[in-house]
Amino acid sequence: MRHLPDSVMLFAAGFGTRMRHLTKDQPKPLVKVAGVPLIEHTLSLAKAISPRKIVANLHYKPTQLEAYLRNQGVETILETPDILETGGGLKNALPLLGRHPLFTANTDAIWQGPNPFSYLRQAWNPDRMDALLLCVPLENTRGHSGTGDFILGPEGRLRRGAGDVYGGIQIIKTDRLESVVETAFSLNLVWSQMLEEDRLFGLSYPGRWCDVGSPEGVELAETLLENPDA
């Protein structure tokens, strides 16, 4: 089953600068939301699909986070001296993850609805897709100040523009990463290649989603968890 995603990459290396005082002494993924570390909300969803392996990248204040994730059975990889961004971070972790299609997930969002990993996996079609991004209609987002990232076209084909918000979880094939010469780069680079070849797809999430990128986002996320219909 080499075309099915069997591993998860958690992006956990960011500085969390918008969190202000909350990340002065701890990395952003350990900020508490509803009494548990922010990263735990995504990690529990990932564990529910029983992946072969979960890997997280670390950079800012890594010691605390490495200890926490080790106890959760998550392998970690330290980015040093510089942070590698999403594309560089994923490429750097491939020796741990393997070369098959895999999930990547940001760890600064709260999902309320069906398990996003399961929802993506059910829609994954490797014959047509090089990546499948989980997108959220703007009206179902909380804590997001933009106008959206992608427009979903017929059969889920994507184009950039104001529309749905990329929620931060996707399934992606990793072979294109090998040809990128930069050490630090965004996954937007390979997404652009996929767009040109009509291989980038999106799936609309039927639940609600909250961006936890600021202290205000923590409050919004906790409200969403307490009252999903709010």
Q: Is residue 213 in a domain?
A: yes
Cis, bond preceding 154 (omega within 30 deg of 0): no
Percent of the chain at pLDDT > 90 equals 92
Q: Do residues 123 and 203 touch, judged by C-beta distance below 8 A?
A: yes
Domain that residue 109 falls in? 7-226
Q: Mean pLDDT across the chain, nearest whole number?
A: 95
Q: Do residues 215 and 19 touch, judged by C-beta distance below 8 A?
A: yes
Q: What is the pTM of this model?
A: 0.96
Q: Is residue 1 in a domain?
A: no
Q: Do residues 14 and 108 touch, judged by C-beta distance below 8 A?
A: yes
Q: How far apart are CA 27 and CA 64, in angstroms?
A: 8
Q: How far apart are CA 87 and CA 65, in angstroms?
A: 21
Q: Name the domain count of the chain.
A: 1
Q: Is residue 139 in a domain?
A: yes
144: domain CATH number is 3.90.550.10
Question: Tens digit of pLDDT for each residue in 121-175?
Answer: 999 999 999 999 999 999 999 999 889 999 999 899 999 999 999 999 999 999 9
Residue 2, pLDDT > 80, answer no
Q: Is residue 17 in a domain?
A: yes
Q: Is residue 2 in a domain?
A: no
Q: Is residue 35 in a domain?
A: yes
